[in-house]
């Protein structure tokens, strides 16, 4: 005889509360529904329904009615080349270029830091992750300060001021500066992932290869490189999908010359009121992110590291660089200066200028930092350090940073633990990484519009969704790094 229905329900509830992994699965399933599935359904519906802007083209249409109008405009219409195909090609070319450069630089830097006797490793290692902490558009602003020309009017850049030569458009704006600046920012992802993987590689494996007659380069490519493939693959996928959705740098360096990527085309469409077209493009980006994440998990597995088993204690032996030790240290020092210190110095210099474009040392002022309000200067606004509104925003940013860091750390620990448990929530984890794709913030815009007025101090810092600049990949890194530790 079967158990009474009430007893069966009671038993299932007790079983649920007695299994921590089941409770976590239910919690993350709810989180997945709130942050991923529900907004995606809303955006799909908006992309397949008439909006007010569409009445100019379809006067007889009813707002909210089902239509394929936006799909036709984006994929097959007269404007499809400008709306979809050209931004798609630009985004893919930037994605491939940045991924190749960033992953190559990050992997090489990680190998030098972890496996060699390079001098000043501690200082270089600490500075190498600074670009990850800064928004990518900081490097874009520094590039504009250095190479800005008269294409968009206004003041000239530092290069023109001192040399009297206008840089060509392909250096000042467009694809080349976007690829360079984004590569100097996103190499930190590959550096963090590959350096963590290198710390788990036992030097005795390479020594065994040396005993078998392998040269130093053969040991690297036939022993070390295969062990790093999962980490490198994760870095490639993470960097590529982040590049497809990054907005700040393509907007600063692309929009002045009408160079559009997917993210900037979404921005332009939404600002022009053509929300349906923007949502179609955003959905395409999300689907592309899903495909790349799926390919990564199928090729490399959900766990991003290999496990090696040895009969002795783990040991690492640093590789002597010999005569290349100091030249490589100088080269990396120049790289750190170019990616960390030079952009900050350029932006600080720009903040001291009385007149934009006048870079002479005799035309500097501290008013923008410590100036008092009411002075007949810059519309009477106080300097940054005396401006109550800016100081309040800084305090909100610090609170948001600590709050997000705590959530990411705890969530990453729980997700990594749940990932090691064979349970019903295990297969939902890949979908939780979807918000690291930056266009997701565009998808959140309407869905969280009703929630923003109740967000207190955070409403000014999260205008398009619940994630701030660094929070999406932080959850990913928390899960991956904790998972790598629990695998050892």
pTM of structure: 0.76
Per-residue model confidence as pLDDT tens digits over 204-231 = 676 677 777 777 677 777 777 777 888 8
Identify the sign of the CA torsion 308, 309, 311, 313.
Answer: positive
CA distance 58 to 119: 68
- State the pLDDT confidence band at 377, using cuts at 50, 70 and 90: low
What is the separation of C-alpha 249 from the centre of its chain, rounded to a whole number of angstroms? 12
Q: Flag whether pLDDT at 329 surpasses 60.
A: yes
Contact indicator for 346, 146 with CB cutoff of 8 Å: yes
Q: Which class for 319: exposed (0-12), middle (13-18), buried (19 or more C-beta within 10 A)?
A: middle
Using the predicted structure, report yes or no on whether residue 301 has a pLDDT greater than 60. Answer: no
Instruction: In whole angstroms, give the CA distance from residue 49 to residue 69.
Output: 8
pLDDT value of position 472: 46
The DSSP call for residue 465 is: S
Non-local (6+) Cβ contacts of 190 within 8 A are 102, 103, 105, 106, 107, 110, 232, 235, 239
Which tens digit of pLDDT belongs to each residue from 183-197? Answer: 999 998 899 988 888
Q: In sequence order, what are the residues at sequence separation of 6 or more whose Cβ sits closer than 8 angstroms to the Cβ of residue 157?
A: 144, 145, 146, 147, 148, 149, 167, 172, 357
Query: Class assignment of domain 80-361?
Result: mainly alpha
Chain position carrying tokens 């007025």:
453
SS3 assignment, position 453: helix
d(CA 49, CA 23): 37
Rounded distance, CA 446 to CA 27, Å? 24
| DSSP code string of 200-264 | TS-HHHHHHHHHTT--HHHHIIIIIHHHHHHHHHHHHHHHHHHHHH--HHHHHHHGGGT---HHH
pLDDT per position as a tens digit, 130-181: 888 888 888 999 999 899 887 776 778 888 888 888 888 889 999 999 999 9
**Average pLDDT for the chain:** 77
**Is 246:136 a contact under the CB 8 Å cutoff?**
yes
**Which residue spans of the chain are classified as CATH 1.10.3720.10?**
80-361
- Residue 26 scores a pLDDT above 60: yes
């Amino acid at each position: 005889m079967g158990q009474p229905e009430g007893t069966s329900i009671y038993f299932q509830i007790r079983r649920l509360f007695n299994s921590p992994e089941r409770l976590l699965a239910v919690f993350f399933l709810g989180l997945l529904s709130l942050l991923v599935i529900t907004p995606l359904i809303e955006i799909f519906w908006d992309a397949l329904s008439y909006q007010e802007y569409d009445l100019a083209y379809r006067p007889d249409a009813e707002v909210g009615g089902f239509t394929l109008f936006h799909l036709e405009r984006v994929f097959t219409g007269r404007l499809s080349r400008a709306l979809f195909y050209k931004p798609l090609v630009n985004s893919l070319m930037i994605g491939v270029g940045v991924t190749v450069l960033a992953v190559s630089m990050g992997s090489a830097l990680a190998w030098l830091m972890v496996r060699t006797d390079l001098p000043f490793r501690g200082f270089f290692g600490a500075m190498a992750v600074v670009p990850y902490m800064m928004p990518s558009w900081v490097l874009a602003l520094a590039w504009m300060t250095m190479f800005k020309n008269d294409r968009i009017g206004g003041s000239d850049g530092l290069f023109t001021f001192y040399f009297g030569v206008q840089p060509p458009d392909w250096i000042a704006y467009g694809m080349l500066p976007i690829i360079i600046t984004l590569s100097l920012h996103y190499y930190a992802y590959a550096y963090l992932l590959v350096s963590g993987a290198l710390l788990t590689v036992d030097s005795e494996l390479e020594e065994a290869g040396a005993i078998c007659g392998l040269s130093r380069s053969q040991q690297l490519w036939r022993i070390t490189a295969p062990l790093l493939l999962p980490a490198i693959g994760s870095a490639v996928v993470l960097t590529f999908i982040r590049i497809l959705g990054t907005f700040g740098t393509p907007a600063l360096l692309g929009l002045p010359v009408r160079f559009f990527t997917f993210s900037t085309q979404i921005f332009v469409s939404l600002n022009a009121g053509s929300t349906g077209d923007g949502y179609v493009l955003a959905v395409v980006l999300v689907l592309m992110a899903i495909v790349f994440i799926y390919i990564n998990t199928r090729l490399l597995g959900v766990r991003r590291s290999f496990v090696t088993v040895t009969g002795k204690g783990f040991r690492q032996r640093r590789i002597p660089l010999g005569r290349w030790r100091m030249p490589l240290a100088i080269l990396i020092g120049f790289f750190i200066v170019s990616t960390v210190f030079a952009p900050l110095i350029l932006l600080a210099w720009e903040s001291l200028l009385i007149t934009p474009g006048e870079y002479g040392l005799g035309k500097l002022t501290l008013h923008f930092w410590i100036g008092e309000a009411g002075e007949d200067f810059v519309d009477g606004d106080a300097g940054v350090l005396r401006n109550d509104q800016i100081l309040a925003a800084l305090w909100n940013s610090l609170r948001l940073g600590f709050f997000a860091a705590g959530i990411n750390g705890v969530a990453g620990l729980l997700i990594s633990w749940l990932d090691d448990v064979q349970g019903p929530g295990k297969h939902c984890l890949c979908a939780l990484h979807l918000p690291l794709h930056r266009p997701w913030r565009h998808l959140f815009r309407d869905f969280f519009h009703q929630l923003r007025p109740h967000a207190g101090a955070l409403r000014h810092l999260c205008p398009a969704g619940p994630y701030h600049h660094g929070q999406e990949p932080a959850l990913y890194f928390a899960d991956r790094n904790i998972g790598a530790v629990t695998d050892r």
